[in-house]
Amino acid sequence: MNISIQSDTDKYTLAETKHIEDIALYLCDHWGLSKKHCSLNISFTDDAGIEPVNVQFLQHEGATDVISFDYLDDYEEEFADEDDPFVLGELLISLETAQSQAQTYDSSFNDEALLYVAHGILHLCGFDDHQEDDIKAMRDAEAQSMKLIKEHFPNARIIA
């Protein structure tokens, strides 16, 4: 599985993208998301970059933390092509929201950004956060993901 990382904001400097790719790949493998000849695109942006996407695709006003686009239902393994990997999903993450939410929740900016990567991957794995039971399952999976990141990537960084 390939992980593609990009940033469209000059406000924040990403850490080494290979490191971010390794974390995302580890989480995808752990949660059973990895598929043959597939890729996951992760884009980091700011509130101005995520807000129009939130309005257009989710009909929600304002910025949000992470938006997941799931294309897994269209994946057919027999048509998987090593030279043209199937994009099974895309994550759009607002680092500006991560920075503000870190202050609100007394967390670090970096941990909040890592949480958004985990949260987005969990959405692609079928976790939801709209009903009370689903929210609890999502929070438990997020906590487990963050624990795994801390254990396997003790120097994990999203932000340089």
pLDDT at 46: 97
Residue 137 domain-assigned (yes or no): yes
Longest Cα separation, the chain: 47
Residue 80 domain-assigned (yes or no): yes
CATH of the domain at 114: 3.40.390.30
pLDDT at 37: 83
Was 123 annotated as part of a binding site? yes
Number of residues assigned to the chain: 160
Residue 157 domain-assigned (yes or no): no
Give 5-32 pLDDT, tens digit per residue: 999 999 999 988 998 999 999 999 999 9
Was 111 annotated as part of a binding site? no
Give the residue numbers spanning the domain of 58. Answer: 2-152
> Which stretches in the chain have pLDDT values below 70?
none
Instruction: Using only the alpha carbons of the chain, give its radius of gyration.
Output: 15
Residue 159 domain-assigned (yes or no): no
Residue type, 61: E
Residue 18 domain-assigned (yes or no): yes
Residue 141 domain-assigned (yes or no): yes
What total number of domains does the chain contain?
1
24 exposure class (CB count in 10 Å sphere: 0-12, 13-18, 19+): buried
Residue 40 domain-assigned (yes or no): yes
Residue 160 domain-assigned (yes or no): no
Element (DSSP H or E) covering residue 70: strand 66-70
Was 65 annotated as part of a binding site? no
Q: If DSSP codes are grouped into helix, strand and coil, which group holds residue 38?
A: strand
